[in-house]
Chain A
Amino acid sequence: MRIAVVRPQVPFARGGAEIMADRLVEELRLHDHEADLVTVPFKWYPGTRVLTQAFLWRLLDLDEADGRPIDLVVATKFPSYLVRHRNKRVWLLHQFRQAYELDGTGLAQFADSSEERALRRKVHALDRVALGEASRLFATSRNVSDRLERSTGLVAEVLPHPPQELAYRCDGYGDFVLSVNRLDRAKRIDLLLEAAALDPSLEVVIAGDGPDRARLEELVRARGLDGRARFAGRVSEEELAELYGRCLAVFYAPVDEDFGMVPFEAFLSEKPVLTTIDAGGPLEVVTNGRTGLVVSPEAAELARAAGWLRTHRDEAAAFGRAGKAIAEGVTWGRAIERLLA
């Protein structure tokens, strides 16, 4: 089949959505399809720019390319699913979250004026139309699927995808808890640092970079965690696999995350995941006492959970292995088979 994978592009930024779409194209090619990536820049501010930039997708003609038909379009993310095609499938990573669950929070985009409120509703209307047109609708997690159903009434099949390919391995269960994430407030890495402040034996390694780094570094200084909390910054794939391989457990507790690939990456390294009851998508695979520990979002609780894992390494290893069995079941082959069925 001739397949166009479509996704928006924020120039100079790259994250999970970009990695996933690129990988999907590669995997489709490996499965003997002619696949290509189609991107359009996206800027969602100021004012109605979120709508006019989204509208650009509506003007594209992807029925054919260079005189030959395109059989299928796979869209992944707002606003790429506005594209018109007779066989449009959407594999939804997330909607435009500022118009939904982030509205009214510190990460909100739309103010309280009549125009801004209506603007937000127009984003909802776009979603209802564009996602409603899809011949098949998939969501990367139950959390994303539930949000979609609540906001639009549309029902998506849950179709997770595997994490990035690394040389996953388990080199034992060291003394440190690893955080792998972009450093921004919604990821709540400060919670892990506060836990370390409460438990003088807890060591943490924080991989990743982002706008919250300065604040987190200040927190480390203020709590006297120098030496026990290390910022590894952006790490190479080899370094990341090595950190996963050596850590005791992986901390991953963003607020109401769509899904997040980190738990799968931890599991493939046979490591348990420490998360919180309000983390959203991760809770679909992190089960308390089976593949990790799920606690309330409080530093003391987290410190206790990390301490328990340190003194129960056999259980930590068992949780990691149980997680690995789950993660190994999610393969590109299976995902593509369902996507194209």
Chain B
Amino acid sequence: MAVQIPFATVSQLKEAGIVEDAFLTGLLKQCQISENKPAWLQAVRQQAAAWVARLRVPTTKDEEWRFTDLSSLVATDFVRGTPVQVENIASIPEASQTRLVFVNGVYSPQLSDLAALPEGVYAGNLNQLPQKYSIEEYFAKHQDTGDIFTYLNTAGCEDVAVVWVDKNVILETPIHLVFVAATEDKASFSQPRTLVVAETGADLSLVEEYSGTGVYFTNAVTEIWVGENAGVKHTRLQQESEASFHIGKTAVTQARDSRYTINEINLGGRLSRHNPEILQQGEQTETHLHGLTIVSGEQLADTHSIVALTKPYGTTNQLHKCIVGDRDCKERTSRAHAVFNGKIFVPKEAQLTNAAQLNRNLLLSPKARINTKPELQITADNVKCSHGATVSQLEADEIFYLRSRGLSEDDARHLLIDAFAKEIIECIPVESLQEKITQIALGKTQ
């Protein structure tokens, strides 16, 4: 039996007699339940729909959403995104033939290219998944943290991006999952859903990318199962449009002796939230979380992570960095806002573990804002744990030193911002992405 983890469950059970949340039910009603879907999926959806009916959209009175006000999301009318023609999907040369593309949540075989997929790997949507894969044993089976947006995604699930790597298969090329939102006239919403299974001894690199144009709401859920002694390197690039809303969950379950690394890069969205939740379910599991959030203008980006160590000899190492405000010296107006909350649970069962967490923030504008809360909950007594947070700004003496060598003030600022971001960007195992993100970080291509 799995150890019960004291996840800080978001409890928003409605009081008796209160009517359903109109925003949530409005969205769910638009998600069609087609009759030809498998019975197990119908059952899971119904179960989740029952939760949606009992919950409401969180407000700033809920501890987990204190600094992230969803009222602008709730005030927008979204219609379900329809399949539209999209051209020019950003590709990465390292994965040009191992690429799955979903437009407004719908699989696009035309834009996808799986020519270079080796044997022992399935990447595709739910409809084409061969019978031999027992998806129902994994789908929506991650540790439940009572997250309303995850229930909403499950309840309205129409298709799934599936990546399945068989036992002992080592995948050399990364798999690129592309989720594009394209709106026409009305604000739209889509609910991308991804399931990744790395069987015992498998190894893969995954790039998950979100982008789009216009006003829309993306509610994404990704489940990753890392088998015994398997390894997953996960890069999550969120560069949604600056008018969009993005809420994402990454739920990871690690079996013994497995390794999981996430490099999350949050650049886009008017309001974005990412919840990486990692459960170490076996001994000697290793988890690395590297995060980089870069926001300017009026953007808000929130990362709430949970890592639960439940067995001996586990390690986790987290470094999350935020760069908030105007990158150029002439701009002083940004009210950008970054939120970080990182929980690490080390229960009694998790002896001889090692947990480190650091959140570093760079504030670039007088009106920019950071809320940070590193959080360790330890009940084991033979462990090594550390956590911390720093908030700083660009040092005037550093800028002067660089300017005295001939660099303009903006070039000096960019060099320092680049240096701050580099530590995270260098963790990304795909070289072309490193270059791309560096350029975006400096505001050169946005």
The answer to whether A and B belong to the same complex is no
Interface residues of B (CB under 8 A from A): none
Interface residues of A (CB under 8 A from B): none
